[in-house]
Amino acid sequence: MVHSMTQPTWVTSKDESRELMAVWPDIVRDLTEVCQHSDIPNISKWIAKVLQYNVPGGKKTRGLALVYAYKMLVSSDQITEENIRAIRILAWCVELLHAFFIMIDDIQDRSQFRRNQPCWYLHNDMGLAAINDSLMIESIMYQLLRKSFSGKNCYVDLVETFQDITLKTILGQSLDLQSTNFGKMPNLNLFTMDRYNSIVNYKSSYYTFILPVTVAMHVAGIKDQEMFRQAKTILLEMGHFFQVQDDYLDCYGKPEITGKIGSDIEEGKCTWLVVVALQRVTPEQRKILEECYGISDPEKVRCVKQLYNDLGLMNMYSMYEEETYNLLNTHIQQMSRGLPHGIFLKILEKLYHRES
């Protein structure tokens, strides 16, 4: 039953993040116990090490969104200590899936830093062995999900949601890699806004926004498919907003705040910045992009950034952010199917003017 009374006051992100972290030691214990086998010595210690390095250090945006959404979807009598603990475990399932994605993504993009530390594949010269560790994290996430939810009515819906969105994210990653021509010189003719939108939806929006809210809806017992459809529509719009911000921060963000060094230009990524630039360039300016974009050379990267500045992309981004924020606010207010607007307004508030 969707909560139709006055919505509870949001706890601060700091408070809920602290509560989420309080559950983390139990998550590590449960996951290492699940994987204990007498004929695989020391595997539990290794799993604990992989988990501690790769999972809890982020902002936990996705996990927190799940907890917030659940609290707003159910009536106050369902917000019990037992239920909230289960939801926090589920939030860690989302964070484990996120860790799996970014560990693989860092290898494919040859990234250097993540969350102010070397990417896992670079940690102690781990190399491609990190691929197996990422797959291990994905697999044990399902073990945690089964241990905590297999007896609940929503279990099949949860498993199918995680599987479906994992596939969509992998398809999005494939489209992204094809756009970069697999690390070779990209074909800028492919860099259209339609292609960019598809990459964003599949690679980022589904698992960052649709996954946590949809999972919360399943646990809350929602069955109305129109409610899921409306949620998906607005969350895809938010995902686009989020990824445009990410593209901007990759180029203009401060590494000490973002926790990573931007590399989209060197990697030849199909980003909002280059797509908009291609819509505005003169033939001479396009030649600069064709000669410099997708090459790991500091001088060529500087030329691309200078071109972005000449085209006024920083100002265009500022206008985009304000217009999109206002448009999303309007769309949220127009939702009519009984979903609490506060879920989406809270997420939007977290996105507005973010710096990391």
Is a pLDDT exceeding 90 seen at residue 41? Answer: no
Instruction: Give pLDDT tens digits for 230-257.
Output: 999 999 999 999 999 999 999 999 888 8
Q: How far apart are CA 317 and CA 268, in angstroms?
A: 20
Of 106, 133, 157, 176, which is the active-site residue?
A: 176
Q: Is 30 a catalytic residue?
A: no
* CA pair distance 108, 217, nearest whole angstrom: 33
- To the query of whether residue 176 is one of the catalytic residues in this protein, the response is yes
Per the annotation, the verdict on 105 as an active-site residue is: yes
Give the pLDDT score at 256.
86
Q: In the annotation, is 125 catalytic? A: no
Question: Which of 160, 198, 197, 207 has the alpha carbon at shortest distance from 276?
Answer: 197
Of the residues 106, 133, 157, 247, which is catalytic? 247
Question: Of the listed 100, 162, 209, 228, which one is catalytic?
Answer: 100
Residues 218-233 pLDDT 10s: 999 999 999 999 999 9
Calpha distance 239→243 (Å, rounded): 6
**What percentage of the chain reaches a pLDDT higher than 70?**
96
pLDDT for the residue 87: 97
Catalytic option among 106, 109, 157, 250? 109
Q: Where are the domains of the chain?
A: 13-351
Asked if 14 is an active-site residue, the reply is no
pLDDT at 1 over 70: no
What average pLDDT does this structure show over 138-148?
95
Domain 13-351 class in CATH: mainly alpha
Set 114, 168, 269, 346: catalytic member = 114
Buried b or exposed e, range 255-278, using 16+ CB within 10 angstroms: eeebbbebbbbbbbbbbbbbbbbb
pLDDT tens per residue across span 266-298: 999 999 999 999 999 999 999 999 999 999 999
Using a cut of 0.75, tell me whether the model's pTM lies above it: yes
Q: How long, in residues, is the chain?
A: 356
Are 231 and 212 contacting, i.e. CB atoms less than 8 angstroms apart? no
Computed over every residue of the chain, the mean pLDDT equals 91
* pLDDT over threshold 50, residue 342: yes
- The one catalytic residue among 60, 88, 168, 203: 203
Is 39 assigned a catalytic role?
A: no
Share of the chain above pLDDT 90, in %: 79
Pick the catalytic residue: 242, 260, 269, 344? 242
pLDDT at 6 over 70: no
pLDDT at 4: 33
- pLDDT on residue 13: 63
